[in-house]
Chains A and B, each alone.
Chain A
């Protein structure tokens, strides 16, 4: 029979729309003010932290809706922002610098909905307010640093093998070794060739020179490492900022995108991102009297530092090694499956470490983390004052004379060892980064953008709705229902895809989709009218109208999709948001205007004897 879908097909279409509606649902529940407490530098929030927070809040007569420990963070929800702000101040004071306390908005999605993965759409920074930075990694510096490493490694290797050379120096993009004799040149070449497989060696026997260049593969590794390391460091620093849901992501070959929702004080954020952190190794002062030092009588050649739990230790003033000699640090397990951190140093660091530890076997050695933290104070010229914060992150006994690579055990759990490795790597920044782009949106503008975008969508939808109803009457209603289903599906899919964010241009994309989505229905309806005019029966006309229009609709939409995908590939931030909603809108509109509208038409008019139809 013409224009009758089998029942399963109609039900399937209804189910898809219902599913879209289900996942679009979280967006209407809104968000509740919350405070998010997460650990810093390897500390994780646990049940004890949760109890502390509870006790602190009750002490200060602050009521909260709920409190929960999730993924090492404690999330407390409040009734209103007033309580939220008070709680933030209370917790910031009492939890100190071991935790970061951030304001957050958490969705009010009911549990049953959240348990099936229902979340509201993520809003872009132009709607939520906040700042985004684009940082560029100075790759030339990374390559120079790698070459510097090569120079000192070559010197060490040649000296160890007793091969005499005149000089080892960096040229523009290579390292050049000049020898005194041809025999030395040959011996040097065979030694270096064996040791460094990722270098291209060329020799010139007349000039007695050997030139070592990094292979493309090695250069790529150096760049990749510099980028990854910077991302790790920035993640660490961003956590210090106390921002809920920050985003740190690589973009292309040398850029890093940082998004900090809700941050208004961008000056502070920038200072922190540009701040430096480093590592030092010092011997523990075992002769000094700790209790006397605690009373203020610190020996002249010692300093008093504490670890993250506040336990004080007396350290020798002389620094054994600074963190810029660290080339790599990895966490792993030793032969007794205890967590350990493996550290690699450059040659200069290796020899320093070697001479420093030679006479101190059996002595404890401390690893100190140093960081310059931005404070709220400013100096006379308005620059933010930085405070030097030193903290002991581990104390370990020197088991043997240490060299270029060694390991630290006793750093605690596996995850703490992992964090220590991360911090050690962070201590030696190989390539400086600069901010090349910044976009800050204030909270008032963000809220205004949401309102304007929403109003534009509603107004556009309303105008099209009225127009279609007047122009196509009953079929106009069908098109409008399809359009409504389209909006629901766009919102549902946007909420389901984790990476999709709604931006102001994205909202414009939805508006545009509303206008263009009815096109498919216009095509179909015009075709139906034509067929009726040609004298076909109503049922035949409906059938023909849909059948004939489909290939046109698909062709027309695929080309728009091509444009949208290209936009997605090159766009960033808000523009990418536009490409996302446009692409989703094109796909859903094809489904709703062809399949959903057909289902409705079939259910209402299908299989009946009709002499007239309202189109």
Chain B
């Protein structure tokens, strides 16, 4: 079976103005949303206490809210989690000395109020200093990842490709963050992990395309850069889509089957893979083209033998 039996080269680059405007608009929208709506940071980053309890039947949120404020927890946020029998209660940081005992206290209150009908599913407490450190480390990790990748790609390809792929990554990360900001989805550690995985995935795509562009620059004589990029994108289009389909298939399985804890993770990846596919076609090659990639830049690199890595990988 074949989905894309393309006889002629698709002129991808003819749409580049539209793509540029489209990406620019989305990126601006993301930045605006991040600046105004901010991210809905989860417990991992803000600190505080979270208690998840399960009920035998659908829970009565109003009653629970009443119980919480009666006991002096006016700031408690009580919400369903995944299903109507699962309830999550969030409490902000307090100056109490015994902050770490808060979770147990709330659990006792709930058990008293409901006659022991609740089942403790999870209690999380994160102190203020931990959250701050994590936010710092998380930002640092993303930056380090981008820099390391920039160095690797520049070393393996050419600086124009490196800049192109890092711009594409930045684009993907920004849009994913934008989505979380616009929809006010909770941004926790697993989402951060998902975004790093998006970086990995998007790069994977970009490299496959860049690799083909490099190969075609060497193989095809007398052709301008735009034409070669079009040919390369057409040749890899089938692979780009098939891989996206298989990845989206497993992510859909994760989204629908993985449970509420994994939802944010799956959402970030689903969206990230989607924009990653788009960006590897448009953003990365477009940036390389705009930076003036040409045949001459890639010719001297022929010293490297194709498939040289295979010997090393053999057992």
Q: Which residues of A line the B interface, CB within 8 A?
A: 9, 12-13, 16, 126, 134, 136, 264, 266-267, 270, 382, 434-442, 444-445, 448-449, 452-453, 455-456, 459-461, 463-464, 467-468, 470-473, 504-505, 508-509, 511-512, 514-516, 518-519, 522-523, 526, 529-530, 546-548, 550-552, 554-564, 566-567, 569-571, 574-575, 578-579, 582, 590-591, 594-595
Say how far A6's CB is from chain B's closest CB, in angstroms: 11
Q: Give the residues in chain B near A464, CB-CB below 8 Å.
A: 246, 249-250
Q: Is the CB of B261 within 8 A of A449?
A: yes
Q: Kindly provide the distance from the CB of A493 to the nearest chain B CB, expressed in whole angstroms.
A: 15
Looking at B193, B250, B269, the one whose CB has the most chain A CB atoms below 10 A away is B250
Docked-complex contact A439 and B211, CB < 8 angstroms = no
Give the dominant DSSP class at A's interface: helix
A134 lies within 8 A of B130 (CB): yes
The answer to whether A467 and B246 have CB atoms under 8 Å apart is yes
Give the residues in chain A near B158, CB-CB below 8 Å.
none
Contact B140 A511, beta carbon cutoff 8 Å? no
Closest chain-A Cβ to B68's Cβ sits at a distance in Å of 18
For A16, the chain B residues whose CB sits under 8 A away are: 315
Interface residues in B188-211 (C-beta closer than 8 Å to A): 189-190, 192-193, 196-197, 199-201, 203-205, 207-208, 211
Q: How does the 8 Å CB contact mask read for B242-253 relative to A, with 1 for contact and 0 for none?
A: 110111111111
B120 within 8 A of A: yes
Binary interface encoding of chain B residues 236-267 relative to chain A, with 1 for a CB under 8 A from any of its CBs, else 0: 10110011011111111110011101100110
From A136, A461, A562, contact of B149 by CB (8 A): A562
Q: Are B261 and A551 in contact (CB under 8 A)?
A: no
Q: Determine if B175 is an interface residue (Cβ-Cβ < 8 Å).
A: no
B-chain residues with CB within 8 Å of residue A550 when the two chains form the complex: 307, 309-310, 313
CB < 8 Å: which of B121, B152, B262, B308 contacts A508?
A: B262
Stretch binding the partner chain, chosen from B57-65, B96-104, B179-187, B285-293:
B96-104
User: Which of B129, B189, B253 is in CB contact (< 8 Å) with A463?
Assistant: B253
Asked whether, in the complex, the Cβ of B253 is within 8 Å of the Cβ of A456, the reply is yes
Q: How far is the CA of A270 from the CA of B99 in the complex (A)?
A: 12
A548 and B149 contact, Cβ closer than 8 Å, known pairs A559-B207, A590-B313, A594-B313: no
Asked if A547 and B250 sit within 8 Å, CB to CB, the answer is: no
Are A523 and B208 neighbours in the complex by a CB distance under 8 Å? yes
Residues of A within 8 A of B212 (CB): 552
On whether the beta carbons of B253 and A557 are closer than 8 Å, the reply is: no
Question: Which residues, 123 to 146 on B, are CB-close (under 8 Å) to A?
Answer: 123-127, 129-130, 137-138, 140-141, 144-145
Q: Which of A382, A505, A546, A557 contacts B190 (CB 8 A)?
A: A505
CA–CA, A566 and B147, complex, Å: 11
Residue pair B122, A442 in contact (C-beta under 8 Å): yes
B193 / chain A contacts, CB cutoff of 8 Å: 505, 567, 571, 575, 578-579
- The residues of B that contact A554 with a CB separation of less than 8 Å are 309, 313
CB pair B120–A442 under 8 Å, yes or no, is yes
B125 touches A519 (CB 8 A): no
Give chain A nearest CB distance to B302 CB in angstroms.
13
Given contacts A511-B250, A548-B306, A594-B313, whether A555 and B211 have CB atoms under 8 Å apart is yes
Chain A residues with CB below 8 A from B127, complex form: 136, 434-437
In the bound complex, CA of A13 to CA of B313 (Å): 12
A276 to B290 Cα, complex, angstroms: 67
| Residue B153, interface by CB 8 Å | yes
The chain B residue with its CB closest to the CB of A558 is B152
Q: For the complex, what is the distance from the CA of A529 to the CA of B257, rounded to whole Å?
A: 35
Cross-chain contact of A445 among B101, B122, B145, B250 (Cβ < 8 A): B122
Contact call B204/A557, Cβ cutoff below 8 A: yes
Looking at the assembled complex, report how far the CB atom of A17 sits from the nearest CB atom of chain B, in whole angstroms: 11
Q: Which of A460, A529, A566 contacts B144 (CB 8 A)?
A: A566
Query: A329 to nearest B CB, angstroms?
Result: 30
**Known contacts A436-B129, A449-B261; 13 further A-B pairs (Cβ under 8 A):** A438-B125, A452-B259, A453-B258, A456-B258, A460-B254, A463-B249, A463-B253, A464-B246, A508-B266, A515-B248, A515-B250, A560-B204, A591-B313
The answer to the question of B54 belonging to the interface, with a C-beta cut-off of 8 Å to chain A, is yes
CB distance from A568 to the nearest CB of B (A): 10
| Nearest-CB residue, chain A, relative to B129 | A436
> Are the C-beta atoms of A515 and B52 separated by less than 8 Å?
no
**Is B309 a contact of A574 with CB atoms below 8 Å?**
no
Tell which of B108, B200, B238, B262 touches A563, judged by Cβ atoms closer than 8 Å.
B200
* B190 shortest CB reach to chain A, Å: 5
Q: A445-B121, A559-B152, A566-B148 are in contact. Are A515 and B258 (CB under 8 A)?
A: no
Cβ-defined contact, B153 with A559, below 8 A = yes
Q: Is A467 touching B249 in the complex (CB atoms < 8 A)?
A: yes
Q: Which of B103, B141, B199 contacts A438 (CB 8 A)?
A: B103
B74 at the interface (CB under 8 A from A): no
A518 to B249, CA, bound (A): 12
Sorted from nearest, which 7 A-B pairs have the closest CB atoms? A560-B200, A460-B250, A515-B250, A436-B127, A460-B253, A515-B247, A459-B253
Which residues does chain B contribute within 8 Å of A13, judged by CB atoms?
315
Taking CB atoms, residues of chain B closer than 8 Å to A456 are: 253-254, 257-258, 262
In the assembly, what is the distance between CA of A456 and CA of B137, in Å? 30
Indicate whether A12 sits within 8 Å of B138 (C-beta atoms), given known contacts A470-B1, A512-B247, A579-B193.
Answer: no
Interchain CA distance A508-B138 in the complex, whole Å: 20
Instruction: Compute how far the CA of A310 lies from the CA of B261 in the bound complex, rounded to whole angstroms.
Output: 51
- Interfacial chain A residues near B266, Cβ < 8 Å: 508
Could you name 29 residue pairs across A and B whose Cβ atoms are closer than 8 Å? A436-B130, A442-B122, A449-B259, A456-B257, A456-B258, A460-B251, A464-B246, A467-B249, A505-B190, A511-B251, A511-B253, A514-B250, A515-B246, A516-B201, A516-B246, A522-B239, A522-B242, A526-B238, A526-B239, A551-B306, A551-B308, A556-B204, A559-B153, A559-B207, A560-B197, A562-B145, A566-B141, A571-B193, A574-B189
Does the CB pair B189–A575 fall under 8 Å? Answer: yes
Are A522 and B125 interface neighbours, CB within 8 A?
A: no
Q: Is B121's CB under 8 angstroms from A563's CB?
A: no
State how many angstroms separate the Cβ of B213 from the closest Cβ of chain A: 11
Query: B242 contacts which chain A residues (CB < 8 A)?
Result: 471, 522, 526
Query: Nearest residue in B to A466 (C-beta to C-beta)?
Result: B249
Q: Is B16 an interface residue (CB 8 A)?
A: no
Chain A residue, CB-CB nearest to B120: A442
Contacts A440-B120, A516-B204, A555-B211 given; indicate if A508 touches B265 (C-beta within 8 A).
Answer: yes
Whether A442 lies near B204 (C-beta < 8 A) is: no
**How far does the alpha carbon of A556 sit from the alpha carbon of B203 in the complex, in Å?**
7
Which of B137, B235, B242, B251 is the most central at the interface, judged by chain A CB atoms within 10 Å of its CB?
A: B242
Q: For the complex, what is the distance from the CA of A526 to the CA of B201, rounded to whole Å?
A: 19
**Min distance, Cβ A147 to any Cβ of chain B, angstroms:** 24
The answer to whether B197 touches A512 (Cβ under 8 A) is: yes
Q: Please, which residues of chain B bring their CB within 8 A of the CB of A518?
A: 243, 246
B239 adjacent to A445 (CB under 8 Å): no
B193 to chain A, nearest CB (A): 5
Interface presence of B303 (CB below 8 A)? no
Q: B123 and A266: CB pair below 8 A? A: yes
Cβ contacts under 8 Å, A270 to chain B: 100-101, 104
Question: Are A530 and B130 closer than 8 Å at their CB atoms?
Answer: no
User: How far apart sit A559 and B269, CA to CA, in the bound complex (Å)?
Assistant: 17
Establish whether residues A552 and B249, one from each chain, have CB atoms under 8 Å apart when the complex forms: no
Distance in angstroms between the alpha carbons of A518 and B144 in the assembled complex: 28
* B231 CB to nearest A CB, Å: 12
Chain B residues positioned under 8 Å from A511 (CB to CB) = 250-251, 253-254, 258
Q: How far is the CB of B220 from chain A (nearest CB, A)?
A: 13
Q: Cβ of B119 < 8 Å from any Cβ of A?
A: yes
Choose from B203, B246, B250 the contact partner of A559 (Cβ within 8 Å): B203
**A523–B1 contact, CB under 8 A?**
no
A445 to chain B, nearest CB (A): 4
Most-contacted residue by chain B among A267, A471, A571, A590 (CB, 10 A): A571
Docked Cα-Cα span, A600 to B104, in Å, equals 57
A574: B residues at CB distance < 8 A: 189-190
Q: Of the candidates A136, A459, A569, A595, which one forms a contact with B314 in the assembled complex, judged by CB atoms under 8 Å apart?
A: A595
Q: Is the CB of B238 within 8 A of A460?
A: no
B306 and A136 within 8 A (CB): no
- How far apart are B53's CB and chain A's nearest CB, in angstroms? 9
